[in-house]
Structure 1
Amino acid sequence: MITQGVFIADRYEVIDKVGAGGMSDVYRAKDHILGREVAIKILKQEFSEDATFVAKFRTEAQSAAGLEHPNIVNIYDVGSENGMYFIVMEYVEGITLKTYIEKKGQLNFKEAISIAIQVGRGIEAAHQKGIIHRDIKPQNIIISTEGKVKVTDFGIARAASSNTIHADVMGSVHYSSPEQARNGFVDGKSDIYSLGIVMYEMVTGRVPFDGDNTVAIAIQHLQEEMVAPSAYAPDLPISLEKIILKATMKSPDRRYGTISDMLMDLKKALVSPNEDFVVISESELGQTKVMPRITPEQEDSLTKKAAQALIFDDEYQDEEEYYDDDEYYDDEYYDDEYYDEDEEEDDGKMDKIITISGIVAGIAIVVILVAIFGSRVGLFKFGSKKVTMINVVGTQYEEAKTQLTDLGLEDDNILVSYEDSDDYEDGVVMSQSTKEGDEFSLNDTLRLTVAGDEENGDSSASDSSNQSESKDSNSSSNSSNSSSSSSNKNNTTTQQTPAANTDNKTETDGKATVAVPSVVGLTQAEATTVLDAKNIVVTSTSSDYSDTVPSGQVISQSIAPGEMVAANTTITLVISKGSKEKTYNYTIPNPYEGECTYSIAELNKSGTIPKSGAINISDVTKASLTVTLTYTPAGADGNPDSSQTQTQTQTVQGTAN
């Protein structure tokens, strides 16, 4: 039991308990050797008894101890005593961002960007050291009494993620990336996604996905589109909204490439909040993009402008609300002095270049060694030729095989499966795994689905051979029959090489296999019925828009048609939501000299627009809106003079997405 006055490692005297979480309890203590206050995070008993977790915990904590940055809670020591494992770290007096959001509700855009920039800088420093946080959430972000923002628990999430008794994941799953939800590959883009969710909560006062349990929330991260933050924060600038939307794209390839790229856009958003400069691509996978080069002079200029933009005025701040009861957030933080980075950047630029160069060189060496080893053992084949695939659907298998051989494919490249069909004659190719026009590597396998079963496929080839033999041998039927039989055997052997491989695998595994039917274009109910008949289980479905597949029908399936799988194999389907309805964005500025009110009849929406401000409304299905603006100036006594009220109604045209 840890109580006040207890010494840990004969050095740290516990003062009081300051917090508790799913993994550990946190105490404030005094370091009697260095004479400073520290925070000690002590692992809970169930974690301390897991040897695998403890080993990983110490490794990750020691790695994170190498991080030193103003926006990171520094780790000073890692140790153990009498089976108790602890981390000694910097003590920061303040509150968590979660508490701060709960106290304020919604943060104005300048405040949210300021916090996001500081968190981003801490993440950037960690990524440059090759450390991914994996658990960015408001509970792990501390705002000090001086107004500085620090990120804690770097490296610890990696240890927790591999532990089977992880206790408190409910708070984390709200901010987990889709790849974390499905236990996929996690890199720096996962931290970008989590920071985007944190920013969403800062400006709206709520998380985008919520539910009764972790599974329900994780599924929402994977499948559901989140409500645009401007729906809850109508005054949110379009630049910040699009930064949040880009950071939280479900596909990592559509997010920011690095946290540094995101920081550049956040600085731009401070300087030009209503400028629509954020580009969200449909898909960046496999595309080469030329990015504009940002010179150091441009970055310095942008940083200075962003610092100046952080100075709050009465337009954006209610002082009584802002300072609240405790001065947790000091306005002095927002002055130019804190953001004057010229000296710091000049001193640290060489160290940063050396660090990045070392990381790049290390990665290059590892890649080269892996490539050499892989090529020697046959894992990799370099310089493989690629061809443009042709269409063989609707062609007899033998003819299709000839065409594919002429293209450069060999027997090893072709895997054949058979399936009964009412739409195709026996022996005709029904589908191919690589579409016409797509690139095909000669190291890959092309899967063909042929109508009929394997026996019919063989007999079809045999019949063709018999007819050829009989035309050339009318005078000697016995010889013809013998020749035909030999020809049949040769044809069968040639045609069935891939299928025979599949049969061998089935015998080795001892399991019955079935060919996966194509259910694309069927309704969900029809597709489920067809797959059930083949003993293939539909475990889940997702939905997506399609301009070609009607609503309610299957767009794609997780296993390609014709692939041989074991009975009771699971499959997932993507169901069409039909064509995506065209939507529009609106920016409505305030034309008056003071705050005005607005109302939009079509949306049944109203509110206020600050002086010199504007509102941004996204994803509206109507091409134009009727907007009424009302302004009541102050009279001689300083109170609103209703006799001078001005009203204007205008039709505003939207900008199509």
Structure 2
Amino acid sequence: MITQGVFIADRYEIIDKVGSGGMSDVYRAKDHILGREVAIKILKQEFSEDATFVAKFRTEAQSAAGLEHPNIVNIYDVGSENGMYFIVMEYVEGITLKTYIEKKGQLNFKEAISIAIQVGRGIEAAHQKGIIHRDIKPQNIIISTEGKVKVTDFGIARAASSNTIHADLMGSVHYSSPEQARNGFVDGKSDIYSLGIVMYEMVTGRVPFDGDNTVAIAIQHLQEEMVAPSAYAPDLPISLEKIILKATMKKADRRYPTISDMLMDLKKALVSPNEDFVTIVESDLGQTKVMQKVTPEEDQSLSRRAAEALTFEDEYDDEDEYYDDEYYDDDYDDDYDDEYEDESKMDRILTISGIVAAIAIVAIIVAIVGNMAGLFSFGSKKVTMINVVGTQYEEALGKLEDIGLTEKNVVISYEANDAEDGIITNQSVAEGKEFSLNDTLRLTVSGTEEAGSSDSGSSQKTENKDSSAEADGDKVAVPSVVGLTQAEATQTLSNSNITVTSTSQEFSDDVASGSVISQSINAGEMVEKNSTITLVISKGPKEVKYTYSIPNPYDGECTYEIAEIGKSGTIPKNGSINISEVSIAELTVTLTYTPMYITGDGTEAPNPNATETSTQKVKGTPSN
């Protein structure tokens, strides 16, 4: 039995027990040779005689022992004594991120990004050595009293190698990637997904998927769309929300390619939080995108600018000051860039230039061909944002409608300040910036929601909130959220003490894309407080694809042009062309035929004076 005062390996004196996990117990101890405090992880007795568990325990030590990084808990020693297996590691005085979130609730975006960057750096160091953590969660992230963030517990980590293709263990299911949930291939993108879920919890104070058992939660990771974090954190900058959404895409190939790419966007979000720079691939077509390669010099400059952006307000008690600006300044100077300075800069530049040029050429060819075939849609319409700060909400909405925005593009939050009630005091996209009509503009309105609802277009929210008046003690009336956007519906239900646990999506000809089609509990029904509800979200009308078959009516080869899709070519004699997957129901086809004639020397040549041209409207046949 391990008790206070017991010596392990005639060196480590147990001081007290500090934690316990599924496989092991953790103790604080004194290293009498080096005179320092350490943490000792000891495999539980019931597992010590199990060869499989012992092998996994040793694998943990061997994997983690080679990692040395300021954001990883260092491993000092590993051994066994009288059938007891143990690992000696760095002792970090502080609290877990889980405890910190529970204490603080929602973290502000600067805190969340700074913690995510430090965690990401630790993961990056592991990935560079071929090690996947596999169990990233707030319980495995420690915030020291000095403000340093460290990743710990590589309890199910395993070095990624050619003969490692499946995960045989699952970490905490709330943070597990879809591929872990289905026991599929696990790589660095699985850690990216888990970090995205951790970031979601930091900014919202809750996990996106929850349920009564691990199976139910795992199914949600596989099948259900999570509620956008801005539904719970309306002031969340668009850049951070998109980083979280990209990191938690269900298909691994839609996430960040590497943790380094994600770190780059996190640094940008610190410098320009309201800039919409994150690209999320939504299409199943797998279209090629040209990604800008950032040079080491640019990376270092961005790191310094990110460090300068980390200026926290003095809003914590002394015991809560876990963040040290001096640490961030040193940490973001890229301590590990020096190891690359011995490489030939010219070789690196030439290699990178060649790769970027090749990708660009392929992307241009694919884009041109895809555009001619009508396969690709290159983004939604963009408008130039105007300034509405200082105007009343209704007036601001009118101005925004004039440039193409609608109420579904706008989410408002209220803030008590010295301005007149109903005045716009802040907008998430600055004047002059490009704004996609598929995105959301967040407006901050002076006053309270109750005051603003009388003179703003968002009165629907307050009405729904009013409808949640309590009755029968702890019961509340379920408000109607059909027709509201997902974010509005989630907030309205939250105001009524009802939690949205999951959503599904369906096509609808009647309900706008992104709005609620139906709710699992009827409006007006009385339910207990903190009841759960599910929503069906509209995907908009199902896009109809058309197929065309255009025959050649002439007695010889002819050419064709189709203006709507920018397609042209040649149709052989007695032949036809077939075009599919076109989203337009009717095409304008122009056919041009130039007959041949026999010249004086007996050869054939086209007769331009006899050229025939016909233009016709051709209706397509629906193909789905």
> TM class by shorter-chain length?
0.5 to 0.7
The runs of 5 or more residues in structure 1 that have no matched partner are: 358-436, 438-581, 633-641
CA distance in 1, matches of 2:236, 2:48: 45
Give the counterpart of 2:338 among 312, 330, 347. 347
Partner of 2:586 in structure 1?
none
Taking the aligned partners of 2:428 and 2:39, their CA distance within structure 1 comes to 44
Say how many residue pairs are matched. Answer: 397
Contact kept? 1:95, 1:328, Cα under 8 Å = no
1:607 aligns with 2:607: no
In the TM superposition, what are the counterparts of 1:295-310 in structure 2 within 5 Å? 295-310=295-310
Q: CA deviation at 1:353?
A: 9.7
Q: Residue 308 of structure 2 contacts residue 329 of structure 2 at CA under 8 Å; is this kept in 1?
A: yes
Looking at structure 1, the residues matched to 383 and 47 of structure 2 have their Cα atoms a distance apart, in angstroms, of: 50
The residue identity in structure 2 corresponding to 1:34 is: L
1:366-405 aligned at under 5 Å gives the runs none
Compared with structure 1, are the counterparts of its residues 283 and 10 closer, same or farther at alpha carbon in structure 2 (3 Å cutoff)? farther
Q: How does 1:96-495 map to 2 (within 5 A)?
A: 96-154=96-154, 156-158=156-158, 172-283=172-283, 287-313=287-313, 319=315, 322-323=316-317, 326-327=319-320, 329-333=322-326, 336-341=329-334, 344-350=335-341
For 1:58-73, list aligned pairs within 5 A.
58-73=58-73
Instruction: Say if 1:609 and 1:615, in contact at 8 Å, map to a contact too.
Output: no
Give 1:179 shift: 0.2
Task: Tell me the distance in 2 between the aligned counterparts of 1:303 and 1:102.
Answer: 29
Distance in structure 1 (CA, Å) of the matches to 2:417 and 2:256:
31
Instruction: Name the counterpart of 1:40.
Output: 40
1:330 Cα offset (Å): 3.2
CA shift, 1:25, in A, is: 1.1
What is aligned with 2:445? 629
- One-letter code aligned to 1:329: Y
Give the drift of 1:290.
2.7
The aligned amino acid for 2:278 is: V
Amino acid at match of 1:221: H
C-alpha distance in 1 between matches for 2:53 and 2:439: 56
| Structure-2 change in CA distance of 1:96 and 1:625 (3 Å) | closer
Task: Give the 3-state SS of the residue equivalent to 1:174 in structure 2.
Answer: helix
Shift of 1:101: 0.4
Change (3 A) 1:306 1:84: same
Q: Deviations over 1:155-207 (max 9, x none)?
A: 63449x9999x8xx7x7100000000000000000000000000000000000
Structure 1 residue 63 displacement after superposition: 2.3
Match of 1:249, SS state, is coil
Residues of 2 paired with 1:627 and 1:329: CA distance? 32
1:59 deviation in Å? 2.7
Q: Supply the distance in 2 between the matched residues of 1:233 and 1:586 (Cα, whole angstroms).
A: 26
* Residue type of the alignment partner of 2:48: S
Mapping for residues 476-555 of structure 1, pairs under 5 Å: none
Change (3 A) 1:221 1:626: closer
Distance in 2 of aligned mates of 1:125 and 1:348: 13
Identify the residue that residue 509 of structure 2 maps to in structure 1. Answer: none
- Could you say what secondary structure the match of 1:230 adopts? helix
1:4 CA drift (Å)? 0.7
TM-score (norm 2): 0.56
Q: Is 2:1 aligned against 1:10?
A: no
Report the Cα offset of residue 588 of structure 1.
Answer: 11
Deviation at 1:24, TM superposition (A): 1.4
Q: CA deviation at 1:340?
A: 3.3
Question: Post-superposition shift, 1:623?
Answer: 11
Q: Distance in 2 between matches of 1:188 and 1:623?
A: 29
Q: Root-mean-square deviation (CA), in Å?
A: 4.3
Give me the whole-angstrom Cα distance separating, in 1, the residues matched to 2:134 and 2:342. Answer: 26
Match of 1:202, SS state, is helix
Aligned partner of 1:386 in structure 2 is: none
Match of 2:499 in 1: none
Measured in 2, the distance between the counterparts of 1:10 and 1:28 equals 16
Q: Which has the larger radius of gyration?
A: 1
More helix by share: 1
Q: How far has the Cα of 1:253 moved from its partner?
A: 0.6
